[in-house]
Every structure is written in structure tokens, then in C-alpha cells.
Structure 1
Amino acid sequence: MEILFLCVVIFLFLLAVFDLSVGVSNDAVNFLNSAIGSKAASFKRVLIVASIGVFIGAAMSNGMMEIARHGIFRPEHFSFYDLICIFMAVMVTDIILLDVFNSLGMPTSTTVSMVFELLGATFVVALIKMAGGIGLGFDDLLNTEKALSVILGIFLSVAIAFFFGTVVQFISRMVFSFNYRSNLKWKIGIFGGICATAIVYFLLIKGAKDLSFMTPELKAWIKNNTALIILSCFAVFTVLMQLLHVCKVNVLKAIVLMGTFSLAVAFAGNDLVNFIGVPLSGLASYQDFMANGGGDSKGFLMDSLNGPANTPIYFLIGAGVIMVVSLATSKKARNVTKTEIGLGSQQGGDEMFGSSRIARRLVRWTLSFLSWLRRVTPAKVRRWFNRRFNVDETIMDQGAAFDLIRGSVNLVLAGALIALGTSLKLPLSTTFVTFMVAMGTSLADRAWGRESAVFRITGVISVIGGWFLTAGAAFIGAGLIVAAMHYGGQWVMLLLAALTIFIIINSNRRFRKKTQEDNGDALFQTIISTQDKTQTWPLLMMYITEQQEKFMTYAEEKYRDITSAFITESAGILGKTESSLARQKTTLKNARRKETLCLRHLTREMAIEKSTWFYLSNNCCMGILYNLRRINEVCKEHVDNNFLPLPPKYTTEYEMIRTQISTLFNDTVKLMGSGDTDMISTLRRHCDEIKDTVSDTYHRVHDQLRDGDTSAMAVLYVYVNLLQETQEMVSSIRKYLRAFAKLRDSDFRTRPAKIMVPTA
């Protein structure tokens, strides 16, 4: 058994290496977003600054692991075997949860996940021990105060951070406006002094409080002289920032990079316990058991974990190196960062989230409130606010999601709130605070327009829901896993280890595939960011053709799958196709939304000329999808009910029609790839021929249905529906071909275009 326990401890450390990588990917959102989103520096320089902060914070952390050692459970009442099961369950659950959330691009809290995993696993083990009649209650086995304080901190941090983010950014924007460069003068010195002082305060109170060089005497001196330190820093930094501004140094970029560094130091210095606390506690337990346990793993109690543990420096340096390498190389870190930047972007773009009922209600109520507010506000006041909040004057670097004023407020305010919460003994999460501050500042900056608000509110709700979902999933998952290990013993441990490795490999494979798909959408980002409107239409036409070519290929494949499954009575294929068609509807809607955003970057004349045919082509694609869904629905119901199959004589005649339609789809795809519009008239005549063939077949089957055998009526009704929808689908292809020809027409004149009503 000792060898098994050694293997478990080694496995915990292997998982810790991956957990460090995954955790950095998740928490990169805390200290990268503002610098990246405001383009304060190149991505490489931002990473260098953040990496230095992460390494310093990790290397100088004192490694105190109280939460993992005795913060949730009372170790004096748990055996070595109990704790090994708890630690194993926590690490397995943590790896799975964090990797899933990162792959989805959803930031979550490593603090919440670890606390609730420990709580869930300990709760189940406590139930098992109490059922065994040990004479102890929950108060003797669990320490729920820490978990309750974390929950309280979550609720407070979400509301407070959003509120202050909105208010502070609103005031900052009133002071500087969106055309902030013309309003700096003497203001930048005071603003820079406030920001730099807040950052220093954050580093001293929050970021450095647990670093190894912070002796009790030094902590006491800082606490007793906090006011003097703040006033001195404010005076010095105000003068310094004003001098830098006079010397033509961009003070705002310096503030953003300082804030990035401070958050990175605090993250690594204080959150390191979330990643390596459990494995180190497992190692300490194993060492104590081997020295004093006498081989009785289920009887040896772990009183030793009540004492403090100073983590060896080589563990801290190793953790720092892993975190820095992960930060520099992790694509998932960029995926999580993209979520917050997308939700707070000042410009329109690809919205990552859909619409929800609660978001629509909130937007409607807000619009009603704003309408009332405009009515009661004096006209002069409204005009003054509109001048200060004129989004058209926004000054941003090329490719930035928001300006440097908002980036500075994001970092400084997040640091100040975390420092304040620390001084009030509230366990605020850096993830919660930084995310909600960013959402509040984006709201104050009018980044949530009427056409994007519903999507961004849905995104915020989804992210917040993900945080609370983390707590529930961590509690339940760790509890189930620890119960399985407690009763299943070593074989379940080995099985869970193998399962964890498989999940990690499979998750990374899926993420690489998704990343490849996202990289394939680089053309859309190019169209959105291009400043030359004369180049927008050729790029947009290329993008539209690429997306619709994929759809036509997909439609031909699914048409063959549906009809073949109907003929061969394959209910499984029809069920999978139903799900696939539902997903394809979302894909089409997302593509149309992106293409509509691109249309806004055209010149007005070009947009009027092309938009009619663009919408017709999209409607035709959606019509084809609806035809496929209606065909599949009827065929699936028929096959699921085990009704009679299609008679052979009808199968033979229909397969000829299906071959013609597959040929039509393939020819259309080839046409789209080559751009040879001369073939369109030929393909449209081919559509007419197919429609005539389908119509003749339909009428013949209809006559036979009216006079034929009643036993075959059910399948013939399905066949008639298939023919009707097929005919409609061919009509949609015919209309699409005309729309495609008009879109490809390069003979564009600058005269005012007449809006044409498309016909078949």
C-alpha cells in the first residue's frame, strides 16, 4: 500500500504541473485584458511584464497552505487514507473543471473551485465517518466558516465591483471625454498620481503581504504608517507623472503596464495555494505517515497538518517557471482573455454569446428608464453630457478594443477594491473583481449599444453563472469521486488516474480543433479592422462565398444522409442529423450577423447596391436548411414508429431524382469556387428541369395515393412531403444562383443605385 500512496502523491504533483498551466490560462484574464484590450504595448511586451510579475510573486511567496492543510477540515479527526482520498478527488475534479471552463473561454475562480472541492470531498468523507459511529458531528469534522466567507465575498465582489466600475469610469469620462488627448494638460499629473498611488497601495496591502521578505515588524510599520505612505506616494507620483507628460511620455501606457505588473504579482503571490497547496499537503501527509504511521493508513490521524508549513524555495521557483512558460505559450489563456475583451469592446464585432430572455427584459427596462431620464433632464445638461460622451471622438490605437483611460481605470480600480476587501478581511476573488470592473467600465463608456447590449448582458450572465456553477460542480464532483475511491479502494484510484489523463488529452485535442476553426475566421477580423473601404467588398465577397460554399456542401451531404436513412430505416442517422441541422441554424445565424457587421464597413452606395442580394442569398440558404429540417422531421417520425418502408418502385425513381439534386449542389459549389458566373444561366435551367421532374413524380404519386392500397398510405404521405420540400429546395437554389450572380457583379458604378426587388 505504501507504494500505491507514493504513486498517488507523485500523480498529485503531475496534476499540479498541469493545474498550474490551466490555472494561469484561467487567471490570465485578471492581469492581461486591460493591457491587451487598450493596446498599451505589444502582446509580447505585455506578456514580459506579466511574466516578471508572476515569477516574482511566485518565487517570493511564503507558500503558506492553511486552506489545503486545515482550512476546511479538522485534520486531527481524519486518517491518512481519508486525506489521500480527499486530495486525489480535489485534484482530479479541479483539473477537469478548470480545463472545461478554459476550453469554453469562460473565466472561473480557482479559489472557489478549490474551496468547494475540498468542502465537497470532506463533506462526503465526514458522512461516511459519522455513519461508522465514531461519535463526532459536522462541527468536529468540518470548518465551514471559510467556505461561507468565500461565498459572501463572491456576492459582494460581483455587485460592488460592477457598481464602482460604472461610477468611476463615468466620472473619468466626464473629466477626460473620449477625445482625452486634448484634455490632459494638468489633469494627467493628478490622474497619474492617483493611479500610481493606488497601485503601490495595492502591492503593499494585497500583493506583498504574504511575500517571504515581509517580516511582522515590516507589516506592522506599513499598517501604522499607511496614511503617510499614501500621501507621500501621491505627491511624488503626481509631480513625476506631470514631468513625464511634459517630456512627451505616454503616462497612460505606463499606468496600464504598472497595473498589469501589480496584479500579476498579487495573483502569483497569493493564489499559488490554489494550484500547489493540495499536492504539497499530500506530500506532507505522506512524509508524516511514513515516519510515524506504522503502516496503518486508516488508523493514523493527521494531527501534524494543524501546524504551519514553510514551502521550500525550489518548489516556489519551479512553480514560477511553469506559470511563466504557460502564460507565454498557452492558447487557452488568449481564449479566456478574448471573452472579457469581446464583452467590453467599444466597437462592434463578433458577439460570442447569443440572446437570452432575461437580457432582453433588462435591456427593455433600461431603455424605458433612459427614456424617462431624458425627458426629465434639462436640454443644456443633456447636450453637455453628449459632448463629453461623444463616442465618435474615441481615440484608440489600431486594433484596440477600448482606450487607455478605460484600461487604466480597469486595473487601478480592481487593485484598489481588492486591497480594500483585504483590509476588511473579505476574501475577494481577483477573477470576480477584475471581470466585473471591466463590465462596469464598458457600460459607462456606452460600449453596450442597442445592437450589442442583449448579447453582452447574456455573456455577463453566462460568466457569472459559470462561477456559481463552478461551486456546485466542484462540490458534487469531488464528493462523488471521493466516495468512489473510499469504497472502491486502489482500483478506483488507478481507474480515475487513467480517466483523468484521457480527459486531459481529449480536451486538448478538442481545443486544438476549435482553435483551428477560429483561426479560419481571420478573414472576418481583417474585414472589421480594415480602414480602406475600397478593399472591404472584395474581402467580404470572399468571406461570404467561403461561408455559403461550406453550407452548400453541408446541405448536399445532409440531404443524401436523410434520404438514405429514410430508405434504409436508419433511425439513428435521422436523430443525429436532427441535432446537426439545429446546430447549423446557429452557425448560419452567426455567419449572417458577422457579414451584416462587415456590410457597415462598405461605402453607402456599395452597401445599397449589394445588400439586397446579400440578404436574398442568406434567406435562400436558410430556406434550404428549413427544407432539410422539415424533411428530416417527417422521415424521423415515420421511421421511429416502425411504419412500412418506401416500396422499391418508388425508391428506384427517387434515387434518380436524388442523383440530379446532388449533381446540382456539387455544380453550384464548383461555380462558387471558380466564380464563373457564365454557368449560372445553365444551372438555373437545370433547376427548372429538376423541378419539372419532381412535379411530375409528385402528381403521379398523388394520383396513386388517391387510388392505391391504403396500407401504404403513411409512407406515401412522407414521400409526397419529401418531394414537395425537395421542389422548394431546388427553387431556393435557383434564387440563390441569381443572388450570387448579382453579388459577383464587379461592374459597380458610383451613381445612386436603385433598390431592386429580387424575384425568382
Structure 2
Amino acid sequence: MDNIYIYMLIALAFLAVADLVVGVSNDAVNFLNSAIGSKAISFKTIMIVASLGVALGALSSSGMMEVARKGIFNPGEFMFDEIMIIFTAVMITDILLLDFFNTLGLPTSTTVSIVFELLGASVCIAILKISADDSQSLLHLGEYINNSKALEIILGILLSVVIAFSIGAIIQFFARLLLSFNFQNKPSWYGAIFSGIAVSSILYFILVKGVKNATFMPDTLKDLVSSSPFQVIGVSFLLFTVISYLIIKFTKNNIYTIIIIIGTFALAVAFAGNDLVNFIGVPIAAFNSYEAWSASGVLPSNYAMVALNQPVGTKPILLLIAGLIMVLTLWFSSKAKAVVKTSVDLSRQDNVKERFEPNFLSRSIVRLSMTASEKFNSLLTPGSKRFIDKQFAKPVQALKTKSEDMPAFDLVRAAVNLMVASILISLATSMKLPLSTTYVTFMVAMGTSLADRAWGSESAVYRVAGVLNVIGGWFFTALSAFVAAAIMAIVLYYGRVYALTGLLILAIVLLIKNYLSHKKQSREQKEADSLERSESSSTQGVIIESAKNISNVVKRGNKIYSSAINGLATQDLKALKKNKKNITKLSNEIDDLRDNIFYFIKNLEEPSLAASNFYINILSFLQDMAQSLDYISSVSYKHIHNNHKKLKFTQIKELQEIDAVMETLFGDIKSAFASNSFTEIGTILAEKKSIINLVTEKIQKQVERTRSEESSPKNTTLYFSMLLETKDLLNATMNLLEEYHSAHDEKVAPARLPGSADPSLEEE
């Protein structure tokens, strides 16, 4: 009988390691988003600073998570075998839930997930115990569960979301009023005062939240921090203000960069020191339970777990191993980067390819906010409005360029993010209020971005929709954690060792599947055929840069067109469905290029009319090609999906004949643009009439068949649709070639042999 519990402990150890990996992938956003978004320091330096913070935080961790032992349920009311079921159900649920959110790239709270999983599993087991005891009813559930603690946590979540957002917005507004976007040109004492406030608050945060329970921290310092917080903050402010002034004045170092480094380190320390127990607290509590029961000699179903009421420290070696796993995950987890990207993009100062679609609620919130803003502005004097607008005016160069390498926001906002998050978390900790570091850091970042006017009229509905999606995900976390843990507990309660084996296999399969799926998506995002934005500032440069995009579109378009024809011929629904996804991805990339036209035109040299017209026309023709391919792919999929009659052999043969001609055409175009052999375009254009005539001939044949022998209206509609849209695709392609041929002839006078390189075009 002992073997099942040893088996459970081994499984919990494995789950603890896996939970550390998925937990760090999720919570890395807490301390990485400000440094990464501002690009204050290199990514390698950010990771080194964060790794040192995580390592220190892990070693200084308080170790045992009391909420896992007695915070949510009363352990004395449960027997050892029931406690082990609760702990195992919690860990399996936790790893699957966090990995699900990581795969979506959404930050969620590890604290909330573990709390509601404990609540769900313990409520489930308590109800099973009550139902088996005739002397008890559901009214006795309160004897098993710590209801007041659960309610306190829920209220803490709701308040933290509102308070963090509001305080972040207010502090950022006044910080920008003081420093403006030209903060680098302000007097030295401006930065010194700001640094004094920021660094002293961050230091206090480290002392209170990060290493308050560290064994190496002197008791006198602990007592001083606890008994005289305002004195500590006051002295720190004066000291760091003076030091910051001296640094700015004599070393010429950027004080805002130093603030960001310190803040990143502080939040990393706090994360590892406090959230580490979310991942290893439950397995260690299970191990302590096993130790207490195995020494008792009592049957597992008769041994009440009163021992969990006693605090037990965690062995330093376990903390060291856990810290090492966290650091390695931080460096190598692609999902951690995806979660950070969501937070950074939602707070980005410039426009970005919006990930979230607006909804009714986001539109309503934006409208109400605009109305409230107008009413507030009406109360201000004209002079006040001018001053505020001046302080919030962005540097001109920020509008002229746009690159993925540009910071998402400046150093002031990054420093405010870290400072406000540090203050709020340390304040709540000193007051013993439940708080999620994920909620606070994310909502502070959203509040500061709103105050910084990053959510303009062109992006507000998308950003608000994104925030609502993330917040909705948090509450979904709580509900799904409760329900899923309860289901896991029921399965384990009745299935025992067989259920445990099955659930572990399920967890492994799902983790591997999600990993492979995420890896595939990441690979697709980096694939060589992805379209690239034009960064050139001249017509000649645009010709060269656009050539690669055209080559890629033609290559992918050729594959999409052929896949549609082949899918129809073989009635392969799966291939046609995949084809629809490919054309959707291509269309989105072309739309992204069109969204970048504003920045492209801003970056052009004077005079820029020819280059801008050329680029706009090229994108228009590419979009026309994508629309034709999208229609061809959609009608093909719809026809097979609806189980309509297969096309006749002659129709399939004719479509394949056209496909062969199109494949040759697209191949020649791809070759010409890939090698920059633009003189070949004239030769390709000469084939336009013969290809159009071929399609027209097939249309005429189908008209004759329809009049004499065709009996299927659906087949006729599909065939005509394919041919007519092929004609539109050819026209769009040829129009693009004519535009390119014309622009190239104007820029390059001397003729070249086909396939030869043009040195004048290779230099930009």
C-alpha cells in the first residue's frame, strides 16, 4: 500500500520540475517587460540581471508556502490519503493550465491558479467525505474550507486590478508632465529627484518583498524595516537623490538606465523569493505529509493531517535546484518571450500589428473615456492645455522611422512601471494583503501606457480589447482551476493508481503537443518567405527591396494555386483547409505592409512622389493577387466541404493544364525577382496574351458544355468561378509586372542581358 504514495511523490517531483518551467515562462513578464520594451540595455544584459535576481530570490525564499498547507483548507479535517489526492490533483491541473496560457502567449497569475486549484480539489474531497457521512450536510463544508481566506484573495484580485491601473496612470501622467519626452535635456536635478524616489521605493521593495525572510538578512535590519518604514524610505530618498545627482553630473551615465537595471533585479528577486513556493510548495507539503504519516504507523485513511499546521522550512539544496531550473528556463523558453511580447505590444508607444480584435465592450469603454476626457479638458484653461500638450509632444524623429528594433516605450515609462509596481507590491505585503505580482505589473504597464497617450484613436479599441482579454483570462484561470482540480480529484479518488498513471500520460502528451505546436508557430514566424517592410528612402532602393517580397508572394501564390487545383482533383479536404490557412497568413502579411505605408512615406527622401506611388501601387497589386488566391482557395474548400459532386475529368484536366502554365509563369517571375534580373520582365509580359487566351478558351468550352451536357449547377458555378478568378489573378500579376517594368526602365537606362546582375541596383 505504501508503494502508491511513493509513486505519487515521484510523480509530484516530476510535476514540480515541469511546473517550474511553465511557471517561469508565464511570470517572466513580471520583471522583463519594462527592460525589454524600453531597450535600455542589451537583451543579454537584461537576462544576466534577471538571472542573478532569480538566483538570489530562490536562495532567500521563505520556502514553504503556508497556503498549500493550511491557508485554503483545514488540514486536520483530512486524512493522509485524501491530502495526497488533493496535492496530486492540484499539481497536474496547475501545469496543464499554465502551459495552456503560455501557449496562447497570455500572462496569468500562478498565485491565483494554485489557490483556486487547492480550493477546488479540497472542496471536492470535502463534499465526498460529507456525502459518505450521514451525520453531516453541506452546511458542514465550512469546517473543511477556510472561506474567509478565499474571499480575501478574490477581493484582493479585484482591487489590485483597479488600483494598479489607476495609480500607474496617475504617476505616469505627472512624471511626463515633469520630464516630458525630452527628458534627456532636462536639468540634472530633475533626473536626480526622480531617481531618488524610484530607487528608494525599489530598495524598500527588495527589503520587504524580496529578502525579508532570508536567513542571511540581519535581524536588526529586519526589525528596522518593519518598525520604521517611513524613516528607511526617507533616508534612502535623500541618499539616492544625492548619489544620482553626482552620477549624472560627473560620470554622464544615464540614470534612467540604472533605475531600470535595479528595478528588473528587484522584481526578479521578489518573483523567485515569493512565487517559487507556488511551484514547489505543494510537492514539499506532500513530502512532509508522507514523512509524518510513515512515522505514525497508522493507516493512511485514519491519519489526520494535523501535522501540516506546523511550519516546516525548506532544505536549501531544494531551493538551489529550483533556482537553477528557473534560470535555465528564463534563458531558453520561447514561450516566456511570447508572454512578454503580449504585454509589451499592448503598451507600445507606436502602432503595431494589433493581435486582438475590438469588441462591443472595448468600443464602449473607449467612447466613454473619450467623452470623459473631453469634459475634463473643458475644465482646463487654454494655457494649461498648451503646457500639457507641449510636455506630451513626441520627438519628430519618432514619427519618421518604424522598425522592429525600436523601443516600445522610453526609459521614463519603463522606470515608472518598475517603481509603481514595486511600491504597490511592497505596500500590500507589509499590510499582509493578498496580491498577485502578475496582475500588478501588467495593470501598471497598461495604466502608464494609457497616461502616455500610447492608446491613440487608431489603436485604443484594439489595446483595450487586449487588456480585457487578459483580464478575462485571469478570471477564467480562477474558474477553470477550481473546476479542473475538482474533476482531477474525483478521478484520482476513485481511480487511484490507474487514474494517476492515465493522468500523468495525458499531461505528458498535452505538454509535448503544445510544445511542438508552439515551436511550429515560432518557426513559421521566422520562415524565409515572410514579407519584409521596405526601409529604403529612394525609388531605386524600394525597387530592390520590393523584389524579394514579390518573389516570395509569387512563390507562395504558386503553391496556393496548385494546392487548390490538386485538392479539387483529389477531393482532399484537409489539404484545402491547410491551403486556406496559408492564404490567410499571406493576406495578413500584405495587410501589415499596407499598414506601414505611413512610416514608409515619412522615411522617403525628397522628392518622394515617385517612390511612394510605386510602393503603393505594388502593394495594391499584391493585395489583388492575394484576394484572387483567397477566393480560389475558399470556393474550392467550400465545394468539397459541402460534399458537392466532383468536377468532371475534362474539367480537372483543363484546370491542371492552366495550373501547369501558371506554374511556369510564376516560376519565371520568381526567378527574375529573386535574381534582380528585371530585364526578363519584358519577356514575361509578352506571354500575357497567350495565357489570357488559354483561360478564355476554357471558359468558352465550359459554356458549350453547359448548353449541351452539363447537369450540375454547383460544378458549373465552381468551374466558372475558378476560371474567372484565375483571369483576375493573371491581370493583377501582369499589372504588377508592368508597374515594375516601367519603374525599372525609368531608373536604369542601359540594357542588360537576362540573368545578369546590375551593379547600379545592388548598391543602396
Q: TM-score, normalised by structure 1?
A: 0.88
Which residue in 2 is equivalent to 1:282? 286
Alpha-carbon contact 1:556-1:662 (below 8 Å) kept: yes
Which residue in 2 is equivalent to 1:14? 14
Of 463, 472, 478, the residue aligned with 1:465 is: 472
Which residue in 2 is equivalent to 1:36? 36
Which residue in 2 is equivalent to 1:227? 230
Change (3 A) 1:78 1:733: same
CA distance in 1, matches of 2:175, 2:366: 24
Name the amino acid aligned to 1:109: S
Alpha-carbon contact 2:540-2:747 (below 8 Å) kept: no
Structure 1, gaps ≥5 residues long: 750-760
Which residue in 1 is equivalent to 2:62? 62
Which residue in 1 is equivalent to 2:341? 338
Which residue in 2 is equivalent to 1:201? 204
Greater Cα offset, 151-160 or 468-477? 468-477
Change (3 A) 1:701 1:491: same
Alpha-carbon contact 1:192-1:251 (below 8 Å) kept: yes
- Residue by residue over 1:545-571, the C-alpha shift from the partner in whole angstroms, topping out at 9 and shown as x without a partner, is 444444433333333333333344444
Of 301, 326, 338, the residue aligned with 2:329 is: 326
Alpha-carbon contact 1:664-1:687 (below 8 Å) kept: no
CA distance in 1, matches of 2:392, 2:15: 49
- C-alpha root-mean-square deviation of aligned residues, in Å? 3.3
CA distance in 1, matches of 2:70, 2:745: 72
Which residue in 1 is equivalent to 2:664? 663
Which residue in 2 is equivalent to 1:617? 618
Query: Equivalent residues in 2 for 1:290-689 (5 A)?
Result: 290-292=294-296, 294=298, 296-370=299-373, 377-392=380-395, 399-520=406-527, 534=537, 538=541, 544-578=546-580, 580-594=582-596, 597-603=599-605, 605-606=607-608, 608-689=609-690
CA distance in 2, matches of 1:393, 1:647: 62
- Residue by residue over 1:182-206, the C-alpha shift from the partner in whole angstroms, topping out at 9 and shown as x without a partner, is 3233333332222222123223333
Change (3 A) 1:214 1:654: closer
CA distance in 2, matches of 1:88, 1:700: 69
Of 247, 256, 259, the residue aligned with 1:255 is: 259
Change (3 A) 1:471 1:217: same
CA distance in 1, matches of 2:388, 2:480: 45
CA distance in 1, matches of 2:35, 2:383: 36
Q: Does 1:722 align with 2:722?
A: yes
Change (3 A) 1:677 1:39: closer
Greater Cα offset, 313-322 or 40-49? 40-49
Name the amino acid aligned to 1:32: L
Q: Does 1:266 align with 2:270?
A: yes
Change (3 A) 1:613 1:86: farther
Name the amino acid aligned to 1:616: N
Which residue in 1 is equivalent to 2:762? none
Alpha-carbon contact 2:117-2:485 (below 8 Å) kept: yes
Once the two structures are TM-superposed, the CA of residue 270 in structure 1 deviates from its matched residue by: 1.4
CA distance in 1, matches of 2:35, 2:192: 20
Once the two structures are TM-superposed, the CA of residue 634 in structure 1 deviates from its matched residue by: 4.2
- Residue by residue over 1:322-372, the C-alpha shift from the partner in whole angstroms, topping out at 9 and shown as x without a partner, is 223332343333332233223223344444444444444444554455556
Q: Does 1:99 align with 2:99?
A: yes
Question: Equivalent residue of 2:747, what SS?
Answer: coil
Once the two structures are TM-superposed, the CA of residue 280 in structure 1 deviates from its matched residue by: 0.5
Q: TM-score, normalised by structure 2?
A: 0.88
Alpha-carbon contact 1:350-1:594 (below 8 Å) kept: no
Once the two structures are TM-superposed, the CA of residue 591 in structure 1 deviates from its matched residue by: 4.6
Name the amino acid aligned to 2:617: L
CA distance in 1, matches of 2:639, 2:532: 45
Once the two structures are TM-superposed, the CA of residue 744 in structure 1 deviates from its matched residue by: 5.7
Question: Equivalent residue of 2:188, what SS?
Answer: coil
Q: Does 1:236 align with 2:243?
A: no
CA distance in 1, matches of 2:633, 2:396: 52
CA distance in 2, matches of 1:367, 1:320: 46
Which residue in 2 is equivalent to 1:706? 707
Name the amino acid aligned to 1:479: A
Change (3 A) 1:174 1:372: same
Once the two structures are TM-superposed, the CA of residue 502 in structure 1 deviates from its matched residue by: 2.6
Question: Equivalent residue of 1:301, what SS?
Answer: coil
Once the two structures are TM-superposed, the CA of residue 537 in structure 1 deviates from its matched residue by: 7.2
Which residue in 1 is equivalent to 2:110? 110
Change (3 A) 1:224 1:82: same
CA distance in 1, matches of 2:540, 2:99: 39
Change (3 A) 1:526 1:16: farther
Change (3 A) 1:83 1:611: farther
CA distance in 2, matches of 1:207, 1:369: 39
Once the two structures are TM-superposed, the CA of residue 263 in structure 1 deviates from its matched residue by: 1.7
Which residue in 1 is equivalent to 2:757? none
Change (3 A) 1:81 1:743: farther
CA distance in 1, matches of 2:600, 2:489: 52
Which residue in 1 is equivalent to 2:124? 124
Aligned length: 741
Greater Cα offset, 306-315 or 143-152? 143-152
Which residue in 2 is equivalent to 1:187? 190
CA distance in 2, matches of 1:596, 1:473: 43
Q: Does 1:694 align with 2:695?
A: yes
Alpha-carbon contact 1:346-1:401 (below 8 Å) kept: yes
Query: Share of identical aligned residues, percent?
Result: 37
Change (3 A) 1:348 1:645: closer
Alpha-carbon contact 2:531-2:549 (below 8 Å) kept: no
Structure 2, gaps ≥5 residues long: 750-764
CA distance in 2, matches of 1:428, 1:681: 68
Once the two structures are TM-superposed, the CA of residue 660 in structure 1 deviates from its matched residue by: 1.9
Change (3 A) 1:635 1:290: same
Change (3 A) 1:598 1:13: farther
CA distance in 2, matches of 1:673, 1:549: 6
Name the amino acid aligned to 1:175: L
Change (3 A) 1:572 1:386: closer
Alpha-carbon contact 1:18-1:95 (below 8 Å) kept: yes
Once the two structures are TM-superposed, the CA of residue 391 in structure 1 deviates from its matched residue by: 0.7
Question: Equivalent residue of 1:181, what SS?
Answer: helix
Alpha-carbon contact 2:292-2:307 (below 8 Å) kept: yes
Change (3 A) 1:101 1:644: closer
Once the two structures are TM-superposed, the CA of residue 298 in structure 1 deviates from its matched residue by: 3.9
Greater Cα offset, 141-150 or 587-596? 587-596
Once the two structures are TM-superposed, the CA of residue 637 in structure 1 deviates from its matched residue by: 4.7
Greater Cα offset, 451-460 or 18-27? 451-460
Question: Equivalent residue of 1:61, what SS?
Answer: coil
CA distance in 1, matches of 2:17, 2:105: 21
Change (3 A) 1:604 1:421: farther
CA distance in 2, matches of 1:78, 1:105: 37
Change (3 A) 1:224 1:746: farther
CA distance in 1, matches of 2:529, 2:68: 44
